[in-house]
Amino acid sequence: MTAEETFLSARPEYMLRYFKPVIFLACLGPVALLTWDGFRGNLGANPIEAITHSTGDCTMVFLLMTLSVTPLRRLTRQYWLIGVRRMFGLFAFFYGTLHLMTWLWLDKFFAVHEMLADIAKRRFITAGMTGFALMIPLAVTSTKWAIRKMGGKRWQALHRLIYATAAAGVIHYIWLVKADLRKPLQYAALLGVLMAYRIFAWVASRNGRVAVAANAGTSQG
Ligand code: HEM
């Protein structure tokens, strides 16, 4: 067996045991870098803006990474990848919380009248808030205990909210940029591809079920 075959046929538990801690540390990279740059005074002329942009980007990227796990896992048959989906989702929530806290704390100093004025003036804040609010039930029900309590079907239905979160994130970004729409449109395109994959997979599995039912009917009749 070649090294590549050994790698591909490795057992899921083995892959997870070795890769999960490495992936976890890599996910902490952006916040570690921000902290390091902050201490060294390397965040540029407007540190709050730098933190907002970096944490906003990370939130979006982790949401898209979470949504990429299922297609990637099916296409590459690396089924162990499912073990990192929850981690990516929780990192999206973590960076989303840092992003929101930057606005609440560093930008607005928790001054309610200033926040309300900002919400009224900049509609993209409302889209961002919607995206963040939709992430809360996902984070709260991310445990194995919650899956058991809710039952797989209901849990899965709730967790489809992640598409709405990512869509709100994209709208938030499209609304906030003044001229160059390239980056938010790249995120929108990626989200579109991931959603199209899901719809395609759903239609294919439904057609499969219909065909199986039809075959069963024929063989009984
Ligand atoms: C799902 C939730 C959210 C996502 C995915 C998200 C994502 C982003 C992204 C990608 C950016 C642009 C980063 C860049 O320029 O490179 C951004 C900027 C920003 N976000 Fe969010 N965000 C979210 C929620 C929020 C919330 C809840 C707030 C505050 C209430 C907020 C406030 C801001 C602000 C003030 C900016 C900078 C705007 C500017 O440049 O003028 N975001 N966000």
Q: What is the pLDDT of residue 1?
A: 58
Handedness of CA 170, 175, 176, 180 (dihedral sign): positive
- CA 5 vs CA 10, 74, 75, 81: distances in Å: 8, 18, 17, 17
Q: What tokens does 34 get?
A: 């921000």
At 157 the pLDDT is: 96
96 in contact with ligand 1, CB cutoff 6 A: yes
What is the token pair recorded at 55? Answer: 């944490």
Does residue 176 or residue 11 have the better pLDDT?
176
Cα–ligand 1 centroid distance for 155 (angstroms): 28
136: Cβ below 6 Å to ligand 1? no
Q: What is the pLDDT of residues 84-122, one digit of tens each?
A: 999 999 999 999 999 999 999 999 999 999 999 999 999
Q: Which helix (H) or strand (E) holds 45?
A: none
CA distances from 146 to 9, 160, 179 (A): 31, 15, 43
pLDDT confidence of residue 19: 86
Binding site membership of 93 for ligand 1 (Cβ less than 6 Å) = no
> Ligand 1 centroid vs 53 CA: distance in angstroms?
7
7-52 pLDDT per residue, tens: 555 567 777 788 899 999 999 999 999 999 999 999 999 999 999 9
Q: What is the pLDDT of residue 83?
A: 87
Take atom 20 of ligand 1 and give the residue whose Cα is closest: 56
How far lies 203's CA from each of 36, 76, 108, 155, 208, in Å?
Answer: 47, 21, 46, 21, 8
